[in-house]
Structure 1
Amino acid sequence: MEILQTQVAIIGSGPAGLLLGQLLYKAGIEHIIIEQRSADYVSARIRAGILEQVSVDLLEKAGVDKQLKEFGLPHTGIEILTGGEKHRIDLSGLTQGKQVTVYGQTEVTKDLMQAREEANLTSFYEADDVKVYGFYGKPYISFNKDGKFYQVNCDFIAGCDGYHGICRASVPEDKIKTFEKVYPFGWLGVLADVPPVSDELIYVQSERGFALCSMRSEIRSRYYLQVPLTDKVEDWSDERFWEELKNRLDKESQENLVTGPSIEKSIAPLRSFVTEPMRFGKLFLAGDAAHIVPPTGAKGLNLAASDIAYLSDALIEFYTQNSEEGINQYSEKCLKRVWKAERFSWWMTHLLHRFEGESEFDLKIKQAELAYVLGSHAGQTTLAENYVGLPYEINNFQAAS
């Protein structure tokens, strides 16, 4: 058995864990990352692609924004298609110049992994039988790697290991409360090397169901269709996907749509999920380990980034100022932002999707609400403020305001 000692042990090598590691490294704080999957698996996962300005600022602070600045696509607006007509939401005009940036989570992960490799920081990939102990006293982690047993003694554990990870599962049931809503449909997503149908994202409300026209670059597009949870990827040929997408678009978008072979295709279920609290002694949950949002509001990766902003700030404050104030406030600060993002994501999902069993009255109310939002400066501002990201302020990181 090999015994290792570090200040912070990070479980999970997704964007949350990697970003925390990078920020701690910049602050001179010792840490180790432990990941059950392989590095190739982690770097290949297809996920979100919309970054709030505060997330962009945080990546800049971490020193991993070179590729983002070169290849990220700033967007100052989005379009909502309903009743066959597109309505533009001027994000920048409604939020004093704020914007979002299209840059895939896959690329964020690769940038962070490269920075970690260049700094020669310690990471254990393909770690088996990872377990966490003693987080209400003296925390430590055990795992196997290539047949060798390791124990990592640490001051704190950061649980960045996702919805199915070991960290949340290790918390005693009487110490944790969860809130969950599962939606009765999924998103069928297709990634294809074709130019986007539009310069901006198009959110589609149609009688046939929701659709989203997104992108990863000027030559790679990401499209989604609302489908029943009973559907399987094998049910959807490329030809069927493109035909159904066209049926949900307006005439102009149909004419602009360029189709091609898919390079990735998957169906993702939609759920809302929150854990309270997000701190258990010296164990902190962050990102998907603590909360899940439906992708409609583009909040998943951005919430993970805000968790890490609060957590890194708290840990830096602890080690540099010998103060536990940030640690004690971590859960409360995170959850305030989490629940606002959960509300917005739920609202966007409810407003733009068709739900089985909806009455004609329900549909009319939904159409009236969307008409109000699109026709009202106040309504559009509310949507825009939430979409670009609500501000947050902490000691070592000043968010855009």
Structure 2
Amino acid sequence: MKRRVLIGLFGFNLLRQSSAHHQQHCLSFLPNPIKHCTSIRQSLPQGAMPNNVDARTMFSHIIKASKLRIISILMDNPCAEVIVVPVLSDNYAYILVDPDSKESLCVDPAEPRIVLEAAAERNVRLSAAFCTHKHHDHSGGNMELQRLLPGVEVYGSCYESVPGVTKGLSDGEIVKFGNLEIRCVKAACHTVGHMLYYVTNPGNPELQPILFTGDTVFIAGCGRFFEGSADMMVDIMRMLRGYRKDTLVYCGHEYTLRNLEFAKTVDPSDSVMSKLSWTERVLSMNMPTVPSTLEEVCTFVSSPTNSTLRFLISFQEFQYNPFMRAGDLKDAVNATSEVEAMAMLRSMKNRF
């Protein structure tokens, strides 16, 4: 039976958390005055939605640029709703919501007050947190989250010391959460115990999986090899090639522009240049550049009244991420093997 969900349009909201020393800004995606409906077309201008998009399509992100213009990122069939919560200077925390059970968790809540405020505005209650690795800008909020939300379960790697973790996770372990399954994938390199979290809905296997990559894989980049080596990162990239092509990738930092500027120096391909142009446009609208996908193409549509905002873009990491293409770039960096190319690319990026 086909899955049918209620579709809501989510406006771009700016939350502010003030303190005596600083003011933090949280970007989240919250209900706007447009009512929930069973057909997106009921809420968009005539012609704004392609005819082949039905009510199962979900808006992961949307920004209302003006009363007449809507820019939206359409994700065909995500297995869960993801709320993007910028924290610190360039980190991303995330809130994951199971659309069926409404159970919610957060990923890397480095500033838990901001994450909790975003959850409250979205009318969801967090019951768990998943931490990708031990670095303070990802794990530093775990203990404060426990104080603010007594009883919350904090999951993290059992292979390294992660502050505040109440449940250590091993490679391949599966955590059931509502109708979702979260598979823990050890990706040692950035840190020795770094975890990726791969989210699926086994009851609806056609829905797009979601992958939280922390500081292992970024859009058009990868994390530094603080506790690993080039061959370890090559193994990670090879592993990802076995994942579904339409997997939605949510990384730990907004590094996309700088990563693509580096990628352009190594491989100024059409894919890199197109993604760079797209990134500049998205950031100019104060939008996050997440998610990307591994190989599948996603589309952007907008109100037909403003053709300058209508464009099609490929999010394919394996097309424009030089670290995922290290083997193809051996000649470009004068390397004799994929591992040597990976090491040279990382060294070049460190100096970029």
Is the TM value for this pair above 0.5? Answer: no
Which structure is richer in relative contact order (CA contacts within 8 A, separation 6 or more)? 1
| TM-score category of the 2 structures, normalised to the smaller one | under 0.3
